Amino acid sequence: MFNHDHSNSLTLALFTNKRVSPMPAQTPEYLQCEKPMIERLVRAGWEYRRGIEVLEDEGEPLLLSRLRRAIVRINGVTDEEAGEAITLLKAAPFGIEGSRRVLDYLKNGVPIKDDETGQPKRVMLIDYERPENNEFIVANQVGYPFRTKIPDLVLYINGIPLVIIECKKLDVSWKKAYEQIKGYEGEMPELFKYVQVGVAIGDKPVYFPTVPWLESVPVYEWKGESFDPLDNLTAMLKPLTFLDILRYFTFYRESWGTFTKVLPRYMQYRAVKEIVSQAVAYARGETDRNRGLIWHWQGSGKTLTMIFSAYKIKRLLGNPTIFFVVDRRELERQLSDELKAVGLSFEVIGSIPHLKEVLTHADGKRGIFITLIHKFRPEELEEVLQELRRERRRRRTIMDRKDVVVLIDEGHRTQYGDLADMMRSMLEKASLFAFTGTPIAKKGRDTYATFGYRDRPYLDRYFITQSIEDGFTVKIAYQPRLEEDVHLKRELLEAFLSSKLEEIPEDYRERVEEKLKKRLNAIRVFLKNPRRIEMIAEDIARHYRENVEPFKAMVVAVDREACVYYKRALDKHLPPEYSEVVMTFGRDDPKPMKDYAEELRKRFPGKDMEEIRERIRENFRNKETPKILIVTDMLLTGFDAPILQTMYLDKPLKEHRLLQAIARTNRPFFKNGENVKPFGLVVDYVGIFKELKRALEIYDERDIAGAAYNIEEIKAELREKIAKALGYFDGIEMKRDRDTIMKAVETLFRLNKGEEFQRLYREIRYNYKLLKEGRSEFREAFKWLTEVYYAYLSKVEGVPPEVELKEDEFFREALRFIHESVDIGEIKENFPVVELDEEFLKKIMRERDRKRAFSNLMFSVRHYINTHKGPLTEDLVERLERIIEAWRKERKELEKLYEELLEVAEEIENRTRERRELGLDELEYSLLMVLKRHVKANNEELINGVKKLLKETEELRFPRWTEKAEVVSEVSRKIMLLLVKEYKGKCNDIVKTRNELLEVLKRWG
């Protein structure tokens, strides 16, 4: 049952209980990760059991007897009804549909018919209202579904496996544990119908949604008060917190046609907790506080924070009215897309009459609504306001209800003046929560005063430095270009900075602009000079080609007409398909804009302008072209495209508008689980960054620290990273001869710093590439580190340099400059990927230098075993690791280690020779090795069995078949049928043999 507190003595008792099996091996993984994690979970309220104690059936991931008892206990149903619920739960298929169904069952119960009445009802699997009524178990070394794959820790609630934790040593990357769990997803599909969260622990602990059909998913760290990250992770896994996350924060989400799973980030969970607590307490009359400010930096997931809040408030209050209020159509669309993606029903208020209907229906329509702030126009709603005031004298209206919650996106822009006053008047008793990345503290426009309280100006704060540190955003670097030729003159810049135009909502800006036109017209005339735009466009084209491609870019022009001028100018220097304009068009537009609008209609036949803009946005995110978007107002907020790396800024912006615009470049871009975008770059053609401090003086300097870095600061960071990389090779000169490079490679391997060095080198490489100008001081160190990197890949990982350069098309252009820095051919010649064959072994044995012979043999054997993982080398892995560990720690003489290593190499060669003599390929021979271990039969019988197996599964083993759980199941079935038919009575363990054969097919097939 649920335990609120467990002492250390209880933990010790659990580990030393005489009834359980012997203690696990005292390996570094157990001592540094598995044991401390169990101890923390027990203190948090989980009950510890060894895997062999809880697992009832190796082929069944559910702990059926515990689940059955829990269902009866929680729901008061009969044993038969509990059995029916379990049958439905187990019947959920593999894949997307089954996973979504299981999550619904976990949150809302399983729909069955009542035994007595025949009426439908929901049977809860988890008691969320009375957590103590649940059973929380942490079990280690759970042998499911076959003993060759044993998860380190599994967390069960009422016998349902919901969290899987894989543990590594402190000096091993978390990625190893992550990859292991991703491997389990394909190998144990039945288990991952139920598991919702994966946790990978190594050099740091991370958590992630388990989504078997996706090759990679985002990973997160749960931050908290403790210095020890395991303590912070445990805070997330406390029974009450985990139940909350499962019920209110876990969703399947459709994005670009693919389903993924949403889990909360720690700052989202923290903020939602505050919002929901205050909104619900206010609605229930427990507090009179009804407003709050959430200050989260751009890119930290504000939209999902709003959605989590709305979902939980709706569930807790039953039937409230929730408004999402935005001030831009892009934000309205983004919010709609997110709500649809997670499957929440809502209405978009598309007109003033629609808003009137929602406000005046009974005491206000219930549900979730999205509306633009501009729908609250005083001149159009004054009559509705008066009607509501009259009606409230005789009946309750929406003005009287406290269970109305207003969630305002980018509150600093919209919540001052007539529109906001009208909204507040109509929703007089509502709770109001504003979300912003850039609050303002300025007379007449004070976000803190509007939404906060004197003793609590904001409910939650998560700003630039934290966001960068957590990896949710990247740094933003800025670089002035063409300063003497194109930057605004000082007096024009002063005029702009002192103007109020940027502070006026878009819909009203044109009316006010007339008064400011004389003052600001000189700025536009200067910025739209055709010769100036031609000069900048040429510079952008050159800079993009040399520094940015294959990432993407955005040009921000001063107005819509300038956008068209930029498009025409860029087309002279880049292919026309490289760039697109995203903006609105009007009937009174000048001819150049009308002509361009007509071109767009011809290129996108049958689509209106809104559809054309949407298509361009999606192509930018997901297709090869366009590579550059040209905008003036659109997409400067609410547009997330991680592939956007550079913004060419040719429009004066200030205060929050400047911060929001440049933040478009701050999303990390992940490839193979790692961010490959070290920073976003803003190229300044206006000169606004010269006035950055003044432009942002409305913020506390501590708040904007890290908002933008001068390119010189990025160079300083590059110096630090290069110094750190060279620090691995203390005492080794930067010579480029073979012996020196080999010594560097061995040093990395001996220190077990190879992965760390590779990550650091890739960061250096991306920074170095982006700094096309001013590279000379880094050139020699970069060349040397590059040679060490590729030599390491070749010797240790067994990857030829050109393979790493070509394997990912995205990097083809980005890595082209590597060839300009180093001679890849020379590296390949000096550090070839050696085939482990008879000729190589003879050469090794003739080598007089034992140190070199051992080194070459070690790397070759390791490469062979890494690339031939499975039954072919399974028994050799441990022997090799023991030899390498002894070499690293100098426990044995080199001569003795050389002899042991040679035995391993000769065994590999003997197996290779036998394979060739039998005329089998690697897949066939690997399958034969499995059968030899388990089946009593001669070679001919076993080889015939292998041939039949491959023939009967051939049609099922199409490209990427291992990603489809139903296909894996069918292959597994066919293997079992063949074993029963061909080797009945001759096989020592049919299930184990089936599982090992399946593993070989998945690896090699």
Interacting residues of 991 by C-beta distance below 8 A, sequence separation 6+: 58, 59, 146
SS3 state at 197: strand
Q: Name the burial class of residue 5, with classes exposed (0-12), middle (13-18) and buried (19+) by CB atoms within 10 angstroms of its CB.
A: exposed
Residue 759's pLDDT is 83
Residue 786's pLDDT is 86
Three-state DSSP string of 129-162? CCHHHCCEEEEECCCCCCCCCCCCEEEEECCEEE
Residue 20's pLDDT is 38
CA distance 667 to 266: 18
- Give CA angle at 87 (84, 93), nearest 5°: 145
Residue 23's pLDDT is 52
Is residue 837 pLDDT above 60, yes or no? Answer: no
Q: Could you give phi then psi for residue 413, rounded to 5 degrees?
A: -85, -25
Residue 868's pLDDT is 61
Q: Are strands 644-649 and 670-671 parallel, antiparallel or unpaired?
A: unpaired
**What are 378's strand-pairing partners?**
none
Q: Which element (helix H / strand E) includes 200?
A: strand 197-201
Q: Are strands 110-113 and 552-556 parallel, antiparallel or unpaired?
A: unpaired
Q: How far lies 463's CA from each of 224, 629, 892, in Å?
A: 16, 27, 53
Can the peptide bond before residue 550 be classed as cis, meaning omega within 30 degrees of 0? Answer: yes
Residue 215's pLDDT is 80
pLDDT tens, 376-404?
Answer: 677 777 778 888 888 888 888 888 889 99
Tokens of 618: 């999606």
DSSP-assigned states of every residue in 744-799:
HHHHHHHHT-HHHHHHHHHHHHHHHHH--TT-GGGHHHHHHHHHHHHHHIIIII--
Residue 72's pLDDT is 94
Residue 679's pLDDT is 84
pLDDT tens, 692-718?
Answer: 666 566 565 555 666 677 777 878 888
CA distance 704 to 687: 19
Long-range contacts of 980-986 (CB under 8 A, 24+ apart): 982/941, 982/945, 982/948, 983/931, 983/935, 983/937, 983/945, 986/935, 986/936, 986/937
Alpha helices, H only, 45-201: 51-54, 64-75, 79-91, 95-108, 174-187
Q: Lowest mean pLDDT: which of 216-225, 580-589, 854-863?
A: 854-863
Closest to 145 (Cα-Cα) out of 758, 991, 842? 991
Closest to 309 (Cα-Cα) out of 329, 299, 324? 324
CA distance 272 to 276: 6
Tokens of 435: 């979300």
Interacting residues of 935 by C-beta distance below 8 A, sequence separation 6+: 942, 945, 983, 986, 987, 988, 993
Residue 855's pLDDT is 67
Judge whether 579 and 630 are in contact, CB under 8 Å.
Answer: yes
DSSP-assigned states of every residue in 586-622:
-TT--HHHHHHHHHHHHHSTT--HHHHHHHHHHHHHH
Residue 443's pLDDT is 42
Tokens of 825: 């051919």
CA distance 901 to 923: 25
Judge whether 733 and 510 are in contact, CB under 8 Å.
Answer: no
Residue 715's pLDDT is 84
Residue 843's pLDDT is 57
Alpha helices, H only, 361-414: 378-391, 411-414
Percent of the residues in the chain that have a pLDDT greater than 70, as a whole number? 76
Q: How confident is the model at residue 412 (pLDDT cuts 50, 70, 90)?
A: very low
Judge whether 639 and 667 are in contact, CB under 8 Å.
Answer: no
DSSP-assigned states of every residue in 243-299:
HHHHHHT-EEEEETTEEEEE---HHHHHHHHHHHHHHHHHHTTS-S--EEEEEE-TT
Q: How confident is the model at residue 497 (pLDDT cuts 50, 70, 90)?
A: low
Residue 110's pLDDT is 92
pLDDT tens, 918-970?
Answer: 888 778 888 888 888 888 888 888 888 888 988 888 888 877 677 666 777 78
Q: Lowest mean pLDDT: which of 7-11, 86-90, 233-237, 451-455?
A: 7-11
Q: How confident is the model at residue 7 (pLDDT cuts 50, 70, 90)?
A: very low
Tokens of 318: 């039953």
Percent of the residues in the chain that have a pLDDT greater than 90, as a whole number? 23
Is residue 902 pLDDT above 60, yes or no? Answer: yes
pLDDT tens, 732-782?
Answer: 888 878 788 888 888 888 788 888 888 888 888 877 876 766 677 888 888
Q: How confident is the model at residue 46 (pLDDT cuts 50, 70, 90)?
A: very high
CA distance 382 to 487: 47
Q: Is the dihedral of CA 639, 643, 648, 654 positive or negative?
A: positive
Judge whether 977 and 949 are in contact, CB under 8 Å.
Answer: no
Residue 696's pLDDT is 62
| R_g (Cα) of the chain, nearest Å | 32
Q: How confident is the model at residue 847 (pLDDT cuts 50, 70, 90)?
A: low
Mean pLDDT across the stretch 19-41?
Answer: 74
Three-state DSSP string of 922-988? HHHHHHHHHHHHHECCCHHHHHHHHHHHHHHHHHHCCCCHHHCHHHHHHHHHHHHHHHHHHHCCCEC
pLDDT tens, 506-527?
Answer: 445 555 555 555 556 777 888 8
Tell me the residue ranges of DSSP E strands in 395-551: 404-409, 431-436, 460-462, 475-480
Q: Name the burial class of residue 890, with classes exposed (0-12), middle (13-18) and buried (19+) by CB atoms within 10 angstroms of its CB.
A: exposed
Tell me the residue ranges of DSSP E strands in 538-678: 552-556, 579-581, 628-631, 644-649, 670-671, 674-675
Residue 954's pLDDT is 84
Judge whether 126 and 158 are in contact, CB under 8 Å.
Answer: yes
Closest to 552 (Cα-Cα) out of 565, 563, 540, 564? 540
Is residue 819 pLDDT above 50, yes or no? Answer: yes
Residue 763's pLDDT is 81
Residue 445's pLDDT is 47
Q: How confident is the model at residue 531 (pLDDT cuts 50, 70, 90)?
A: very high
SS3 state at 430: coil
DSSP-assigned states of every residue in 523-537:
HHHHHT-HHHHHHHH
CA distance 789 to 297: 36
Residue 912's pLDDT is 73
Residue 550's pLDDT is 82
Residue 540's pLDDT is 95
Angle between helices 922-934 and 990-1004 (to 10 degrees): 170
Q: Lowest mean pLDDT: which of 142-151, 550-559, 923-932, 986-995?
A: 142-151
Better-predicted residue by pLDDT, 55 or 123: 123
pLDDT tens, 555-595?
Answer: 999 889 999 999 999 999 999 999 999 998 888 888 889 99
Is residue 237 pLDDT above 50, yes or no? Answer: yes
pLDDT tens, 251-286?
Answer: 888 766 678 898 999 999 999 999 999 999 999 999
Better-predicted residue by pLDDT, 302 or 696: 302
Other CB atoms within 10 A of residue 310 CB: 24
CA distance 326 to 423: 12
Residue 801's pLDDT is 54
Judge whether 845 and 917 are in contact, CB under 8 Å.
Answer: no
Other CB atoms within 10 A of residue 421 CB: 13
Q: How confident is the model at residue 11 (pLDDT cuts 50, 70, 90)?
A: very low
Tokens of 606: 């049958």
Is residue 630 pLDDT above 90, yes or no? Answer: yes
Residue 70's pLDDT is 95
